[in-house]
A and B are shown apart, each in its own frame.
Chain A
């Protein structure tokens, strides 16, 4: 089985216990405005274009069999409808100005990369974290990968938005030691506004999952003035308590993904957002801890 993998990140330290390898699978049903990995959103492979490297030589335009590229005064325009991610243009480009966001890999290939860091997993109680995009959008691949890891006694974790089929989620849960479950907003209207989908299915899945899986961690990517109010955190705590969840991770805002939007020729709407100050984050942490739930900043 194959799928498009955006990246396999070694020595990941904030995505589950111990030292982990994170597999980023391409494709996500949500469109969170703050998404710092926008290249993982679409399921199809796509291009990163770095105009600052481009010398406008036109080789890419000539190489493309789909006529997806046009040369303009300011750079190369990519027609995403026409482009099928074949990568011919990237080989033709002398400057590495065009690059594919993902790579098609088999389960075995991904596993081979994961198992390389066994010694670090053993020392640290770490393992693999399958992330996205959204794992549920690729559940067949994810399930096979997780099974293979389990067969080899590698600790497993997934990161999910919870938006998808519960049957799949439950199956995946069977092969997963730790589930990092994103709760981006407890308020449905806000959720819809900033992620493009309702949180109903997500919360329902979370509740159901919590009756069959004992190790769920809630994660809240804190976006300034969007979901980082005390109110939202308190609601998240309540949700956690209802589901007997014992740990919440608060991920402070960063804008490290902003440049990727430019290179994907997408607009980054949250451009002017400020980072939270440390003291405020600490206060939120305290609120969580006072409710008897463990809280980690940064995960």
Chain B
């Protein structure tokens, strides 16, 4: 089996520098955005936003680190999070007042230099009452507020940050340069008839596109200038050459279309970087990098302009840049995506519309470069299909076997038909990319958030169903009048109550989406929208319905717990009559206290569990999904009828690591889960209950209505390293992957790490900085996770030999 090690000294140095950087907070963006808002109070919101971006890009500190080939920084240092005060400030004020800084959290710590605290406090006082969060709060109906407190729904992430979750049209940007985008906007502007009703709005939007794109061009020119200045002082001849080259490149791109692989990589980074500065949303992704960069790569290699090693260095410089991006989120939300995740996805491989394999030499180079870099970013996804080259599948297996959770495997055999089923044009369907962790979108044509903005906590819905809407933890009563556990004399009446509950809470989750969606209209991402097809033509941001496609998905957490809970009640109470409803009620109320509680819990744990290819319970999981699908597909999103194809909802199980906080608010459940412990993640089985191994997990998961889950389905398998320790094990692992393709599973990722190692890492975090685990759709440094998430990872079943 292969080993992956960084060969370039430059990359080793750059990697070490970024890895050892203590996460910090930088207030520069907050400062300039606030100034710009103050200076442009009377301007239309588009212009205000464009000016805010412009001001930031003009004034923020920039640097070029020694050895860097790709330049451009998000904040004043690497691994330093800018502040986005326009989205929310209260949480910052609260954390600063209570803890003095952001570095005393349980996980995801940041340090704000002391000398900036006062200025940040000033900024906060300007924004208080004017943020997205405030606006959402102002219009939030009482039942949504209560339901959010109960945490049967959760949408905080989207009220404290922007959208993210998007892949701009890199291919087009590379082809025409930003000057081309500006030209397009100017041309469209010339067609605006100022006597029309919507003309002023259209005009403002198109003008803002021009301002934003120009500001990005000028931002690059600042680096050009800096590189030139540095080159003058530089003593090392080779480095001087490099700096002069950087200067030349940043002078040309992103204004003009790139002419080389190097320029193209630099341009991709500038675009991606500015999107990260423009908005606070995470999961801004790079799309099918191996496809759109390939022509440049091929040309340069063929003409001998670069060699493979240099191309790899450039890619690794880009990965280090991705890793240097950080976002700070409120503590209350950081448990939902633990481990500083930014979910910047890079997708490789896939099938062409003529069913030939899209894999090329650059796909392999990306795979190799990510395998060597062993960083948590990018979040690498490999698209596979029945015609994927043997070599590609094996090399993916080799990198997975090194144990840092990448690449995630995504299956064209189900994803393409799923997209076709949603009305996506067939060439677009073949061109899909992953966004964030497991979400699917057509690059450059899809609005934000292929997964929804809010979470639906299925185990909480279940708990509320058993308690007639009463939530013990908060004292709130939500939907009532449908009976409680002791009233459900047969399984059917239990199920009917569930259906009523799921209908109600699904509705609330959509309402929560709308609150965020409606208010986010006031925080348009101009630059990002200008790179999404048809925003310019329609003169609309993506949020207003500018995108070609706009299908979002509801997100549910705790499917497996809910299915197991139904199965346990069905079997133990209604069929075998081993337990009475009263006994179950008591046991759940007391969190399985005492010997009697333990006995009941044991019986529940022995009931059939999802993930073991047992139809009895797997069919219940399917029922649960269908009950949800029936509801969610009734709803439209705020872009419906405004241009995009879709404008509606699908479903998704990409719940990131929300299974931990969602579980943390939910009492004991009849699957034997103790109160306030994590729920199962995504479509994965409950931690520790998939005792029959990976084949059975695949079987169970593929019984779900996968083809409807266009928002992505998440399956995480913790794989014991001994299953991969010899050639035989590796061969069979490859076959397992191929079987997964044949069975039309959607997505799978493997955590290959031993429990001993993780325990050791808990004891001596310093030594184990390198351990990366897949938390749920993304990779995180294990030692930076909070203790509960760490335990959760350890408790996931190790597939036995």
Interface residues of A (CB under 8 A from B): 9-11, 13-14, 18-19, 55, 57, 93-96, 116-117, 119-120, 122-124, 256, 296-299
- Chain A: CB-nearest residue to B601: A94
CB distance from A103 to the nearest CB of B (A): 12
Contact across chains for B735 and A120 when beta carbons are under 8 A apart: yes
CB distance from A50 to the nearest CB of B (A): 13
A18 to B729 CA separation, bound complex (whole angstroms)? 10
Interface string of B687-709 (1 = CB under 8 A from A): 00000111110010000000000
Cβ of B18 under 8 Å from chain A: no
Q: Determine which of B598, B694, B696, B732 lies in contact with A94 in the assembled complex, contact meaning CB atoms within 8 Å.
A: B598
Q: 3 nearest interchain CB pairs? A: A94-B599, A11-B693, A124-B735
Indicate if the CB atoms of A120 and B595 lie closer than 8 Å.
Answer: no
Q: Quick one: which of A117, A120, A256 has the most chain B CB within 10 A?
A: A120
Q: How far is the CA of A247 from the CA of B322 in the complex (A)?
A: 50
* Complex contacts, B742 vs chain A, CB 8 Å: 119, 122-123
Instruction: Report the Cα distance A124→B743, complex, angstroms.
Output: 13
Identify the interface centre among A13, A55, A96, A299: most chain B CB within 10 Å of its CB: A13
B contact set with A: CB distance below 8 Å: 595-596, 598-599, 602, 605-606, 613, 692-696, 699, 723, 726, 728-729, 732, 735-736, 738-739, 742-743, 799, 801
Asked whether, in the complex, the Cβ of A9 is within 8 Å of the Cβ of B735, the reply is: no
CB neighbours of B613 from chain A (8 A): 116
Q: Are A119's CB and B723's CB within 8 A?
A: no
Contacts beyond the supplied A11-B732, A13-B728, A120-B695: 20 A-B pairs with Cβ under 8 Å: A10-B692, A11-B695, A11-B799, A13-B732, A94-B595, A94-B596, A94-B602, A95-B598, A96-B605, A116-B699, A117-B696, A119-B743, A120-B735, A120-B736, A123-B735, A123-B738, A123-B742, A124-B732, A297-B726, A299-B728
CB pairs A–B below 8 angstroms (16 shown):
A9-B693, A11-B693, A13-B723, A13-B728, A14-B729, A19-B735, A57-B595, A94-B602, A116-B696, A116-B699, A117-B696, A119-B742, A120-B695, A123-B735, A297-B726, A298-B726
Q: Which residues of the partner chain B approach A11 to less than 8 Å between Cβ atoms?
A: 693-696, 732, 736, 799
**A contacts with B: majority SS:** loop
Minimum CB–CB distance from B769 to chain A (whole Å) comes to 28
Chain A residues near B694 (CB, 8 Å)?
A: 11
A19 and B595 form a contact (CB under 8 A): no
Tell whether, in the assembled complex, residue A19 and residue B728 are in contact, meaning their CB atoms are under 8 Å apart. no
In Å, the complex CA distance between A83 and B315 comes to 67
How far is B729's CA from A124's CA once the two chains are assembled, in angstroms?
A: 12
Q: For the complex, what is the distance from the CA of A216 to the CA of B288, rounded to whole Å?
A: 49
Residue contact B602 to A10, C-beta cutoff 8 Å: no
Known contacts: A116-B613, A123-B735. The answer to whether A10 contacts B743 by CB under 8 A is no
Inter-chain contacts of A18 with B (CB < 8 A): 732, 735
Complex interface: chain B residues within 8 A of A55 (CB): 595
Smallest beta-carbon distance B24→chain A, Å: 45
CB distance from B687 to the nearest CB of A (A): 17
Which residues on B sit within 8 Å (CB–CB) of A95? 598, 602
B693 partner residues in chain A, CB cutoff 8 A: 9-11
Least distance between A159 CB and chain B CB atoms (Å) = 15
- Contact flag A19-B726 (CB < 8 Å), given A94-B602, A123-B739: no
Known: A19-B735, A95-B598. A296 touches B728 (CB 8 A): yes
Question: Which residues in B have their C-beta under 8 angstroms from that of A57?
Answer: 595
Residues of B within 8 A of A94 (CB): 595-596, 598-599, 602
In the complex, are the beta carbons of B729 and A19 less than 8 A apart?
Answer: no
Q: A57-B595, A116-B696, A117-B695 are known contacts. Are A14 and B739 too (CB-CB below 8 A)? A: no
Which A residues are CB-close (under 8 A) to B726? 297-298
Q: Which residues of B contact A298 (CB under 8 A)?
A: 726, 728
Q: How many angstroms between the C-alpha atoms of A228 and B736 in the bound complex?
A: 33
Task: Assess the B695–A10 pair: CB atoms within 8 A.
Answer: yes
How far does the alpha carbon of A201 sit from the alpha carbon of B232 in the complex, in Å?
88
- Tell me the minimal C-beta distance from B394 to chain A in angstroms: 15
A-chain residues with CB within 8 Å of residue B729 when the two chains form the complex: 13-14
Residues of A within 8 A of B695 (CB): 10-11, 19, 117, 120
From B599, B738, B743, residue with most partner A Cβ within 10 Å? B599
List the B side residues contacting A117 at CB < 8 Å.
Answer: 695-696, 699
Across-interface contacts of A297 in B (CB, < 8 A): 726
From residue A282, how far is it (CB to closest CB) to chain B in Å? 12
Residues in chain A near residue B738, CB distance under 8 A: 123
**Nearest B residue to A117, CB-CB:** B695
With a cutoff of 8 Å between Cβ atoms, the chain A residues found around residue B739 in the complex are 19, 119-120, 123-124
Q: Which residues of A contact B596 (CB under 8 A)?
A: 94
Contacts of B801 in A (CB 8 A): 14, 256
Shortest Cβ distance from B600 into A: residue: A94
Residue of A nearest to B615 (CB): A116
A14 CA to B733 CA in the complex, in Å?
Answer: 12
Q: How far is the CA of A124 from the CA of B596 in the complex (A)?
A: 47
Inter-chain contact A10/B696, CB cutoff 8 Å: yes
- Chain A nearest CB from B400 CB (Å) reads 16
A296 to B731 CA separation, bound complex (whole angstroms) = 13
**Beta-carbon contact of B735 and A96 below 8 Å:** no
User: In the complex, A93 Cα to B595 Cα: how many Å?
Assistant: 10
Instruction: For residue B688, give the distance in angstroms from its CB to the closest CB of chain A.
Output: 13
CA distance A120 to B737 in the complex (A): 10
CA distance A93 to B739 in the complex (A): 40
Report the Cα distance A256→B722, complex, angstroms.
Answer: 13
Q: Identify which of B732, B738, B743, B799 gathers the most chain A CB atoms within 10 Å of its CB.
A: B732
Chain B contacts for A296, CB-based, 8 A? 728
The distance in angstroms between the C-alpha atoms of A10 and B697, with both chains bound, is: 11
- Closest CB in chain B relative to A12 CB, distance in Å: 8
Q: Could you say which residues of chain B place their CB within 8 Å of the CB of A19? A: 695, 732, 735-736, 739
Q: Which residues in B have their C-beta under 8 angstroms from that of A299? A: 728
- Which residues does chain A contribute within 8 Å of B743, judged by CB atoms? 119
- Report A-chain residues with C-beta under 8 Å of the C-beta of B606: 96
Task: Report the separation of the CA atoms of residues A123 and B698 in the bound assembly, to the nearest whole angstrom.
Answer: 14
**In the assembled complex, how far is the CB of residue A35 from the closest CB belonging to chain B, in whole angstroms?**
16
Q: How far is the CB of A131 from chain B (nearest CB, A)?
A: 14
Bound CA span A119–B694, Å: 13
